[in-house]
């Protein structure tokens, strides 16, 4: 007598896909997820290809993530620096004095080069400030924003010359805070401010970004200027 052999069911086994948005799904797929985000944020074209091929998310979610990451990349690389450039170019009198004094406190704390706003002399929108009898800073203001800064020095001693040179550097640091010490030094070097002796007929200028810097001698005075070329 033959035994009946029970056949195993041929019903297909249902595969349950783990939701990548769940904690267990995230930890299972985290290398791909993290890699996808890094590439989308820093190398969008490669990130798009990676997301298309290896994203654990559905198509609609993947597209949404790609759009958001690309928008962040565009803002960080192209839009944000432009905002910073405009903000730096547009300084009110209060902004300029505050930033200048901050730079003076940080870079030349012992030279008494901070601006006391209560002692500023105003002439309409323009203003000036005397550090001492041999050093004065003034600014032309247009539409409430500083357009040109002038430092007039009449150095009589080595200390006076050192103080004047530092004041020039502080104006550069105020108008272009993105420049480091070496870059500020290059500007002063191009203006021959770091030469051992300064010519009596000095008249030099140089451009850095949006600003034209100049220096000249006149009637035993050393006149340093910084003019912002950006349109307001």
Domain that residue 45 falls in: 23-88
Share of residues in the chain with pLDDT > 90 (%) = 46
Q: Using an 8 Å Cβ cutoff, are 128 and 136 in contact? A: yes
Position 27 scores a pLDDT of: 54
Compare 69 and 232 and report the one with higher pLDDT. 69
Domain match, 125 and 41 both:
no
CB count, 10 Å around CB of 41? 15
Residue ending a domain, among 39, 55, 88, is: 88
Domain match, 133 and 194 both:
yes
DSSP string across 95-145: HHHHHHHHHHHHH-TTS-----GGG-EEETTEEEEEEETTEEEEEEEETTE
Query: Does a structural domain hold residue 137?
Result: yes
Task: Record the pTM.
Answer: 0.63
Domain match, 34 and 95 both:
no
Domain match, 71 and 115 both:
no
Residue ending a domain, among 88, 115, 130, is: 88
Radius of gyration for the chain, computed over Cα atoms and rounded to the nearest angstrom: 31
User: What is the Cα 78 distance to its own chain's centre?
Assistant: 12
**43-63: buried (b, 16+ CB within 10 Å) or exposed (e) per residue?**
ebeebbebbeeebbbeeeebe
Domain match, 111 and 48 both:
no
Residue ending a domain, among 88, 108, 126, is: 88
Query: Does a structural domain hold residue 204?
Result: yes
CB-count burial class (<10 Å; 0-12, 13-18, 19+) for 182: exposed
Domain match, 104 and 164 both:
yes
Tell me the backbone φ, ψ of residue 131, rounded to 5 degrees. Answer: -75, -40
Domain match, 142 and 111 both:
yes
Position 58 scores a pLDDT of: 85
Position 52 scores a pLDDT of: 81
Mean pLDDT of 144-166: 93
Hey, what are 48's tokens? Answer: 């798009």
Would you place residue 116 in the very low, low, confident or very high pLDDT band (cuts 50, 70, 90)? Answer: very high
Compare 55 and 25 and report the one with higher pLDDT. 55
Query: Does a structural domain hold residue 8?
Result: no
Would you place residue 223 in the very low, low, confident or very high pLDDT band (cuts 50, 70, 90)? Answer: very high
Would you place residue 86 in the very low, low, confident or very high pLDDT band (cuts 50, 70, 90)? Answer: very low
Domain match, 131 and 182 both:
yes
Domain match, 79 and 118 both:
no
Rounded to 5, what percent of the chain is helix, strand, coil? 45, 20, 30
Would you place residue 16 in the very low, low, confident or very high pLDDT band (cuts 50, 70, 90)? Answer: very low
Q: Using an 8 Å Cβ cutoff, are 68 and 57 in contact? A: no
Mean pLDDT of 172-200: 89
Domain count, the chain: 2
User: What is the Cα 168 distance to its own chain's centre?
Assistant: 21
């Amino acid at each position: 007598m033959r035994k009946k052999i029970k056949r195993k069911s041929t019903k297909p086994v249902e595969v349950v896909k783990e939701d990548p948005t769940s904690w267990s799904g995230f930890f299972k797929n985290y290398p791909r997820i993290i890699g996808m985000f890094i590439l989308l944020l820093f190398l969008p074209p490669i990130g798009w290809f990676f997301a298309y091929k290896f994203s654990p998310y559905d198509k609609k979610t993947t597209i949404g993530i790609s759009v958001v990451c690309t928008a962040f990349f565009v803002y960080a690389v192209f839009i944000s620096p432009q905002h910073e450039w405009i903000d730096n170019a547009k300084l009110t009198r209060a902004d300029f004095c505050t930033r200048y004094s901050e730079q003076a406190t940080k870079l030349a704390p012992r030279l008494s080069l901070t601006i006391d706003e209560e002692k500023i002399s105003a002439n309409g929108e323009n203003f000036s400030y005397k550090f001492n009898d041999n050093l004065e800073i003034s600014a032309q203001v247009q539409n409430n924003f500083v357009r040109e800064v002038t430092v007039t020095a009449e150095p009589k001693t080595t200390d006076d010359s050192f103080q004047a040179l530092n004041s020039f550097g502080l104006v550069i640091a105020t108008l272009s805070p993105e420049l480091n010490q070496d870059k500020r030094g290059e500007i002063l070097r191009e203006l021959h401010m770091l030469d051992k002796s300064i010519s009596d007929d000095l008249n030099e200028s140089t451009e850095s970004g949006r600003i034209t810097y100049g220096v000249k001698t006149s009637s035993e005075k050393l006149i340093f200027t910084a003019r912002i070329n950006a349109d307001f």
